[in-house]
Chains A and B, each alone.
Chain A
Amino acid sequence: MQVGLVHFIALSAVLFSIGMFGALTRRNAIGILMSIELMFNAVNINFVAFAKYIDPINTTGQVFTVFVIVIAAAEATVGLAIVLLIYRNFRDIFVDRINLMKW
């Protein structure tokens, strides 16, 4: 069976779901960040596949992927800095044990 746009969309949906499962169930803050990276990548696959099949001349969809990658890099940097800060103060990076701001 030849691969079309639908296959890329299905792959992207599956990958996004896996990332969402990780973000919902992981206790380790770094594990949650890794799951969020998986979700970013699923979105990128969608953008690139639609750019290939719907607008192959202008490649506008790929520009959005560039922006998503930049945002993901910024998010990972700040997120990991916060995780390291939390580890330094609490000696812990399990998100269910960090409950200082819960009432």
Chain B
Amino acid sequence: MLSETASIIFYIIAFVTVVSAVLVVTLKNIFHCALFLILCLFSIAGIFILCEADFLAGVQVLIYVGGIAVLMIFAIMLTAGLTNFKVKQHNEQVAMGALAVFCFLLIVLGGVAKTLSVRGGFPTAHTPKIIGSTTHSLGKLLLTDFVLPFELVSVLLLAALIGAVVLAKKDGE
């Protein structure tokens, strides 16, 4: 359980996250969507801090806000002319999509409620919390237990980089 102050902060951050996420998927101007995506990613970094994941909060800001969101804005700028208000931004499946998503949400939250009522809550550890940064234990895990996935994901990232360059360059260069 979080403390009283942290709970209030959680509710504020969760509200900002959900509102900005709704704006990301509903606004007509795709550029405004990208800006609200940045706000949403920032507030998720706040959630990470509440979960005592300080390293991941930094990574979130650096990679998502600094990298991916800026990449999105670049792509929007390069495909300009299609972002005006007159073009319809949603397809004809809005009602059906909303229904499907609502059913999905109902199923997931129903599962959570069932776990709460039948099992009496989720299992939680009763170990004392570590005080200080998680960077040390994270780095240790990445280079001991998870060293094979770590190397594989490095190769994947390299392949994605080369693939993006090959795709984006003009023919005959």
Contacts and interface: CB of A to CB of B under 8 A. Distances in A.
Interface residues of B, number: 90
B22 A18 contact: yes
Contacts of B22: 18
Contacts of A16: 108
Contacts, number: 239
A77 B162 CA distance: 10
B68 A37 contact: yes
A26 B90 contact: yes
A20 B78 contact: no
Interface string B48-83: 100111011001100110011001101110110011
The 8 closest A-B pairs by CB, nearest first: A22-B25, A74-B160, A24-B97, A81-B164, A81-B167, A3-B7, A17-B105, A52-B51
Interface of A: 1-11, 13-22, 24-28, 30-31, 33-35, 37-38, 41, 44-45, 48-49, 51-60, 62-63, 65-67, 69-78, 80-85, 87-88, 92-94, 96
